């Protein structure tokens, strides 16, 4: 038993994480994969790592120091359950099983409960940053018991990305908290990508700039408050020329976006928690709309704005327009992140997790796909007020929204006028206006609900629950509270 940590599952993520672990002082890494070939290949190609290969679960357990600690990196779902079952058979109470795959947090809650009954610790761990992150330093979001964190903390700290001197890992909370936070991270990623795509589309159609010229715009934006990994890679993608056709690569890529389902999880969970994550939802739906080729085909001839506003549309002052888009993007991004943090807050309340939202924003500053300068502003907001109920009401964001306000409205209005879809821009603005409204037409909805279903309503001027006798004399009576 010479290894202090083990990895099960040696596909791209697992083998990179194992190499990352092995490269850190003091770690000896045991490795196991269901099919032997991957293990042999990894050990042969990386003799420098000093891996301890195992070819059965018994051998794997025997190679680990106690408390045994193993990170599972296999396909999320049944494969994870199968590996957990096998590990539970060969591990002992006090040992630690870590699932680093993209598990749905409710699966993690279930698995943690079942594994805990054996006395073994179970940690659901979100890992972001793809292959490169796994190898060089990911952002890590572990959930699980305090006991397991004692052993796991130093190991994870040594392999995590570092942002401004701080490791991008924190003990998020118990059982499913880590995978929950990873899920919302991915949802925010969807929103951020959709907003960037809408910005690109409006710039291209409004100014006639080429993708390479727009790449310069994004590169410029990346030197300001929008500085982020996603803006940076957007410039790279837009600059790429297709070798076959010599056209911009973006013009030969099929315009149907794929998804692996974590955006949908974020939205489904938000719906059950009653949290309006409209930016993430619109981004997820925009991907589905794009991929419905047949529906798009039969809809292509639908009428658009009068006078061909769309095809004849060019802006008068391209530079001023681009600046307005930048401001609209920044404001919408603030909304999307605010909604995502709202979902984490609601999830923590529902599942009884103590999640430090400032710490979450800090561990997203490096290693992960949504890493950005901007996350420092979020961390500052939560440092100042830990229980901030709405992130976008923090003074820094209020100022930014104030600054962006006119441009944001103009961009959304323009997109509607010329018939260019900007669902994430416009839903973010609608959310913002909804939040800040004095009165909402929800009052009318309550009236309608009371009319057809006697669902009752509350009044602004007195306590109690009321119902109007709509099919009688239309007088009001005091009623049982039934919502
Ligand atoms: P895959 O998701 O492609 O899974 C392949 C691995 O699962 C192989 O090691 C395979 O073993 C193993 N496996 C399967 Br499939 N069924 C098994 C079973 N019943 N018992 C034991 N092992 C089984 O690998 P990946 O792309 O490296 O991703 C690993 C995890 O990391 C996933 O949960 C993924 O969602 C997550 N993740 C991926 C990324 C990314 O950018 N790719 C980022 C963050 C998180 P075999 O070799 O014997 O078939």
**CB distance 13 to ligand 1 below 6 Å:** yes
Q: What is the ipTM of this complex?
A: 0.97
Catalytic pick from 38, 182, 333, 362?
182
Q: Which of 75, 126, 258 should be mutated for ligand 1, with most atoms under 8 A from CB?
A: 75
Q: Which of 9, 38, 83, 133 should be mutated for ligand 1, with most atoms under 8 A from CB?
A: 9
CA nearest ligand 1 atom 2, residue: 75
Name the residue among 58, 110, 64 with its Cα closest to residue 89. Answer: 58
The answer to whether residue 324 is catalytic is no
Give residue 35 CA to ligand 1 midpoint distance, Å. 12
**CB distance 74 to ligand 1 below 6 Å:** yes
The answer to whether residue 182 is catalytic is yes
pLDDT of residue 312: 76
Q: Which atom of ligand 1 is nearest to the CA of 131?
A: 41
CA nearest ligand 1 atom 18, residue: 79
pLDDT of residue 313: 87
Q: Which of 79, 137, 185 should be mutated for ligand 1, with most atoms under 8 A from CB?
A: 79
Diameter over CA atoms, the chain: 87
Residue with tokens 């959310």: 431
Separation of alpha carbons 136 and 115, rounded Å: 31
Separation of alpha carbons 90 and 88, rounded Å: 6
What is the DSSP code (8-state) at residue 160? S
Sign of the torsion formed by the C-alpha atoms of 358, 16, 176 and 190: positive
Give residue 33 CA to ligand 1 midpoint distance, Å. 10
Are the C-beta atoms of 232 and 222 separated by less than 8 Å? Answer: yes
Q: Which atom of ligand 1 is nearest to the CA of 9?
A: 9
Are the C-beta atoms of 343 and 266 separated by less than 8 Å? Answer: yes
Give residue 77 CA to ligand 1 midpoint distance, Å. 10
pLDDT of residue 306: 80
Q: What is the pTM of this model?
A: 0.96
What is the chain's pLDDT, residue by residue, as a tens digit (483 residues)? Answer: 689 999 999 999 999 999 999 999 999 999 999 999 999 999 999 999 999 999 999 999 999 999 999 999 999 999 999 999 999 999 999 999 999 999 999 999 999 999 999 999 999 999 999 999 999 999 999 999 999 999 999 999 999 999 999 999 999 999 999 999 999 999 999 999 999 999 999 999 999 999 999 999 999 999 999 999 999 999 999 999 999 999 999 999 999 999 999 999 999 999 999 999 999 999 999 999 999 999 999 999 999 998 666 677 899 999 999 999 999 999 999 999 999 999 999 999 999 999 999 999 999 999 999 999 899 999 999 999 999 999 999 999 999 999 999 999 999 999 999 999 999 999 999 999 999 999 999 999 999 999 999 999 999 999 999 999 999 999 999 997 655
Give residue 284 CA to ligand 1 midpoint distance, Å. 24
123 beta partners:
98
3-state secondary structure (DSSP) of residue 53: strand
Using CA atoms of 428, 432, 434, 435 in order, give the dihedral in degrees to the nearest 10.
130
């Amino acid at each position: 038993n010479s290894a202090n940590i083990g990895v099960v599952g040696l596909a791209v993520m697992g083998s990179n994480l194992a190499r990352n672990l092995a490269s850190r002082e003091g770690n000896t890494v045991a490795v196991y994969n269901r099919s032997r070939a991957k293990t042999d290949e990894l050990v042969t190609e990386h003799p420098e790592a000093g891996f301890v290969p195992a070819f059965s679960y018994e051998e794997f357990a025997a190679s680990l120091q106690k408390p045994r600690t193993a990170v599972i990196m296999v396909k999320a779902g049944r494969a994870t359950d199968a590996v957990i079952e096998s590990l539970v058979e060969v591990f002992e109470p006090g040992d630690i099983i870590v699932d680093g795959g993209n598990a749905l947090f409710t699966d993690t809650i279930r698995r943690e409960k079942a594994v805990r009954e054996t006395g073994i610790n179970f940690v659901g761990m979100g890992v972001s940053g793809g292959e490169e992150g796994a190898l060089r330093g990911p952002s890590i979001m572990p959930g699980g018991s305090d006991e397991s964190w004692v052993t796991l903390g130093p190991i994870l700290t040594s392999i995590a990305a570092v942002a401004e001197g701080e490791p991008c890992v924190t003990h998020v909370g118990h059982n499913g908290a880590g995978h929950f936070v990873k899920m919302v991270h991915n949802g925010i990623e969807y929103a951020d990508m959709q907003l960037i795509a809408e910005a690109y589309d409006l710039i291209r159609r409004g100014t006639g700039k080429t993708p390479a010229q727009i790449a310069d715009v994004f590169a410029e934006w990346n030197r300001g408050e929008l500085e982020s990994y996603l803006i940076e890679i957007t410039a790279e993608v837009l600059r790429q020329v297709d070798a076959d056709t010599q056209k911009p690569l973006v013009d030969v890529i099929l315009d149907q976006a794929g998804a692996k389902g974590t955006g949908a999880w974020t939205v489904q969970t938000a719906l059950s928690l009653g949290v309006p994550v409209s930016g993430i939802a619109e981004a997820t739906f925009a991907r589905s709309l794009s991929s419905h080729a047949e529906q798009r085909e039969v809809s292509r001839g639908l009428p658009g704005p009068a006078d061909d506003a769309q095809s004849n549309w060019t802006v008068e002052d391209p530079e001023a327009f681009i600046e307005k888009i930048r401001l609209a993007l920044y404001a919408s991004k603030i909304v999307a992140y605010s909604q995502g943090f709202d979902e984490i807050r609601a999830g923590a309340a529902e599942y009884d997790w103590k999640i430090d939202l400032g710490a979450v924003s800090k561990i997203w500053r490096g290693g992960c796909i949504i890493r950005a300068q901007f996350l420092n502003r979020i961390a500052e907001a939560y440092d100042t007020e830990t229980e901030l109920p709405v992130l976008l009401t923090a003074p820094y964001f209020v100022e930014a929204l104030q600054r962006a306000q006119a441009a944001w409205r103009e961009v959304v209005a323009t997109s509607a006028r010329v018939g260019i879809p900007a669902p994430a821009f416009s839903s973010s603005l609608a959310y913002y206006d909804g939040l800040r409204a004095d009165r909402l037409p929800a009052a009318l909805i309550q009236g309608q609900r009371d009319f057809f279903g006697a669902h009752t309503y509350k009044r602004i001027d007195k306590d109690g629950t009321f119902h109007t006798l709509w099919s009688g004399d239309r007088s009001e009576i005091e009623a049982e509270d039934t919502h």
